[in-house]
Chains A and B, each alone.
Chain A
Amino acid sequence: MKRKNDTWLMALTALSAVLVLLALYLALAGAPEANLQSETGRYAQRIIYFHIATAWVGFLAFFVTFVGGVGYLRSQKRGWDIVALSSAEIGTVFMLGVLVSGSIWAKPAWGVWWVWDERLTISLIQFLVYVGYLMLRASVDDPVRRARFAAVYGIVAFISVPINFVAIRLWRSQHPLMFGSEGGGLGPGMMFAFFFCLIAFTIWYVTLMAHRIRLERLRDDAEHLKQRIMG
């Protein structure tokens, strides 16, 4: 039973490795050059393939944490908590990736590392919420209570996302949309690379989830065995 799962996991890992490598090739060389004046700008533009795919995974992971939290509160099953925890950890890393890759792109494109644009602000707040979620978990010893608190915070945080979005959008409404030209500016070759990255990163996320969930299960098993030997 276990062995069959492991074979699947290996296959999934290999698949996502190939896909991410292909995505890397497409983003760096495969996709056609952007129609931009400066050379730096043309190179920097290639970040968006990974940047947007990373952002997509970051927000998807957040949604999964929310679903895991609701599932846990309804069923009190450890499995839901493991899903929520795993997704939050992966989401944190991806969200940090979004902030860093965005900054690297912003410097040549806008001349600054950071502006309080709506998307940047919401991503930063999202990242901080994830950090808070993990700190909350680290600060509770009792596993049942930890799972419950994390679930409640995951739900509260998720519900705050759309409200935050509306608030930040209104707050920044006087600013021009800096991404405006981009959606329409992607040619057919670029579109292919863009969606390929999106799919590759999603599969990568699923793979990471499978590994992280398996790890937590093993940790639980080890804990049970330890208790049985001690008691």
Chain B
Amino acid sequence: MKTFRLLRFAALLIVIGLVVELGTLGWSHPTAFVAFMFVGGATMAAGILLYLYWLIQRRPDETPREVSEP
């Protein structure tokens, strides 16, 4: 399921970005800010963009039946 992989990859990027951002909060140094912005922020932004792409490109029939049906 390609669509699953895309969604999981987006979520993975977001989680990695957020974890990096969390790690930088404990360090008061310009390097921490660089890591926050250009590593954590960029990874998270890539994940969000990928998620938005997944949202607009997916077709309704890709919804798994066991989830869509009551």
Q: Do A and B come from one complex?
A: no
Q: Give chain B's interface residues, CB within 8 Å of chain A.
A: none
- A→B interface (CB under 8 Å): none
